[in-house]
Amino acid sequence: MPAEPQLARWLQRVEARLESELPRGDQSPERLHQAMRHAVLGGGKRLRPMLVYAAGCATGADETLLDAPAAAVELVHAYSLVHDDLPAMDDDDLRRGRPTVHVAFDEATAILAGDALQALAFAALAREDRAGAGLRVAWLLALADAAGARGMCGGQALDMDGTGATLPLPELERLHALKTGALIRAAVRLGALAGDADAATLARLDEFAAALGLAFQIRDDILDIEASSEQLGKTAGKDQAQAKSTYPALLGRDGAAAALAAQVERMDAALAGLPGDLAPLRALATMAVERSH
Binding site for a second copy (CB under 8 A): 23, 28-29, 31-33, 36, 79-80, 83, 86, 88-89, 106-109, 111-112, 114-116, 118-120, 122-123, 125-127, 132-134, 136-137, 140-141, 143-145, 147-151, 153-154, 156-158, 160-161
Minimum gap (Å) between residue 138 Cβ and a second copy: 8
Residue 125: Cβ within 10 Å count: 25
Residue 104: closest CA among 46, 162, 32, 168: 32
Q: How far apart are CA 186 and CA 80, in angstroms?
A: 15
Query: Are residues 118 and 147 in contact, defined by beta-carbon separation less than 8 angstroms?
Result: yes
Minimum gap (Å) between residue 159 Cβ and a second copy: 10
Please say which residue, 79 or 208, places its beta carbon nearer to a second copy.
79
Please say which residue, 139 or 208, places its beta carbon nearer to a second copy.
139
Minimum gap (Å) between residue 290 Cβ and a second copy: 32
Please say which residue, 177 or 284, places its beta carbon nearer to a second copy.
177
Please say which residue, 133 or 272, places its beta carbon nearer to a second copy.
133
Please say which residue, 147 or 284, places its beta carbon nearer to a second copy.
147
Angle at Cα 226 formed by Cα 223 and Cα 232, nearest 5°? 50
Minimum gap (Å) between residue 251 Cβ and a second copy: 23
Query: Are residues 125 and 68 in contact, defined by beta-carbon separation less than 8 angstroms?
Result: yes
Minimum gap (Å) between residue 104 Cβ and a second copy: 15
Residue 95: closest CA among 87, 205, 103: 103
Residue 128: closest CA among 71, 49, 46: 71
β-partners of residue 98 are 95
Mention every residue, 6+ apart, whose C-beta is less than 8 A from residue 193: 135, 138, 139, 142, 202
Please say which residue, 141 or 241, places its beta carbon nearer to a second copy.
141
With b for 16 or more beta-carbon neighbours within 10 A and e for fewer, the 49-82 pattern comes to bbbbbbbbbbbebeeebbbbbbbbbbbbbbbbbb
β-partners of residue 95 are 98
Minimum gap (Å) between residue 213 Cβ and a second copy: 18
Please say which residue, 144 or 283, places its beta carbon nearer to a second copy.
144
Minimum gap (Å) between residue 36 Cβ and a second copy: 6
